[in-house]
A and B are shown apart, each in its own frame.
Chain A
Amino acid sequence: MDVMPKWADAILIPLISILLAFAISGLVILAIGKDPIEAFRIMVTGALGSSYGWGFTLYYTTNFIFTGLAVAIAFHARLFNIGGEGQATLGGLGVALVLLAVPWPHWSLALPAAILGAMLFGAAWALIPAYLQAKRGSHIVITTIMFNYIAWALLTYLLVEVLKPAGQQSPESRRFGPGAELPGLSDVLGLVGIPFSSAAPVNVSFLLAILACYFVWLLLWRTRLGYEIRAYGHSETAAAYAGISATRIIIIAMLISGALAGLMAVNAVMGAGRLINNSVENAGFIGIAVALMGRSHPVGVFLAALLFGFLYQGGAELALWASIPTELIVVIQSLVILFTGALDNMVRMPLERIFLAFRRSEREG
Chain B
Amino acid sequence: MVDFLTVLQILDTTLRLATPLLFACLAGLVSERAGIFDIGLEGKLLASAFFSAAVAAATGSVWLGLLAGIAASLTLSGIHGVASITFRGNQLISGVAINFLAAGLTVLIAQSWFQQGGRTPSLSGGARFQEITLPFAESLSGVPIFGPIYKELISGHSLLVYVGLLTVPLVWWVLFRTRFGLRLRAVGENPAAVDTAGIPVVRLRYMAVGICGILCGLGGVYLATGLQAGFVKDMSSGRGFIALAALIFAKWRPWYALFACLLFGFFQALSFRPDVVAAVMRFDVPGQLMDALPYILTVVILAGFVGKAIPPRAGGEPYVKEQ
Contacts and interface: CB of A to CB of B under 8 A. Distances in A.
B94 interface: yes
Interface string A316-350: 00000000110111111111011001111110010
Given A28-B108, A288-B96, A138 B304 contact: yes
Contacts of A157: 286, 288-289
Contact of A331 (B39, B91, B104, B295): B104
A32 B100 contact: no
B302 A132 contact: yes
Contacts, number: 146
Interface stretch (B5-13, B81-89, B190-198): B81-89
Given A136-B303, A138-B303, A342 B90 contact: yes
B93 A292 contact: yes
B147 to A, nearest CB: 39
B82 to A, nearest CB: 8
Given A154-B292, A331-B108, A146 B92 contact: no
Interface in B83-116: 83-84, 87-94, 96-101, 103-105, 107-109, 111-112
Interface in A133-178: 136, 138-139, 141-143, 145-147, 149-150, 153-154, 156-157, 160-161
Contacts of A139: 302, 311
A156 B97 contact: no
Is chain A's binding surface mostly helix, strand, loop or mixed?
Answer: helix
Contact of A341 (B89, B111, B238, B302): B89
B241 interface: yes
Contact of B238 (A149, A329, A334, A349): A149
B96 A346 contact: no
Nearest to A33: B112
A82 interface: yes
Contacts of B39: 141, 145
Given A161-B286, A334-B101, A337-B97, A32 B108 contact: yes
20 contacts: A28-B105, A32-B111, A128-B299, A132-B299, A132-B303, A138-B299, A146-B298, A153-B288, A285-B96, A288-B96, A325-B118, A327-B107, A327-B118, A332-B104, A333-B104, A334-B104, A338-B79, A338-B83, A341-B89, A346-B89
- Across the A-B interface, the 4 shortest Cβ-Cβ residue pairs: A330-B104, A334-B100, A342-B94, A331-B104
Interface of B: 39, 79, 82-84, 87-94, 96-101, 103-105, 107-109, 111-112, 118, 238, 241, 244-245, 248, 286, 288-289, 291-292, 295-296, 298-299, 302-304, 309, 311
